[in-house]
Copies of this chain bind each other. A is one copy, B any other.
Amino acid sequence: MWRVRYALAHKGLTFESVPLGFTDIPQVFGGRYKTVPVLGENDQMIVDSWSIVDHLEQTYPGRPALFSGPEEYAMVRLFDAYFTAEMIRKFFGLYALDIHNAARAEDRAYFRESRQQRFLKGRTLEVHVDGREGRLPALREALTPLRLQLSRGPFLGGHKPNYADYIAFGLFQWVASVNTLPPLAKEDSSLCSWLDRVANLYEGLGRDPRMKPLFEG
A88 CB within 8 Å of chain B: no
> A179 near B: Cβ within 8 Å?
no
Top 9 nearest A-B pairs by Cβ distance? A75-B75, A74-B158, A81-B145, A68-B71, A71-B72, A82-B82, A72-B72, A81-B148, A82-B145
Q: Which of B69, B70, B79, B160 contacts A79 (CB 8 A)?
A: B79
Closest CB in chain B relative to A121 CB, distance in Å: 17
What residue in chain B is nearest A150 (Cβ atoms)?
B78
- How many A residues have CB within 8 A of the partner chain? 30
How many copies of this chain sit in the oligomeric assembly? Answer: 2
User: Does A76 sit within 8 A of B, measured CB to CB?
Assistant: yes
A32 an interface residue at 8 Å Cβ cutoff? no
- Can you name 21 A-B pairs with beta carbons within 8 Å? A68-B72, A69-B72, A71-B160, A72-B72, A72-B75, A73-B158, A74-B157, A74-B158, A74-B162, A75-B78, A75-B162, A77-B152, A78-B79, A78-B145, A78-B149, A78-B156, A79-B79, A79-B82, A81-B148, A82-B83, A85-B145
CB nearest to A67 among chain B residues: B71
CB of A159 within 8 Å of the partner chain = yes
- The reply to whether B85 and A75 contact each other, CB–CB distance below 8 Å, is no
A191 within 8 A of partner (CB): no
A147 to chain B minimum Cβ distance, whole angstroms, is 9
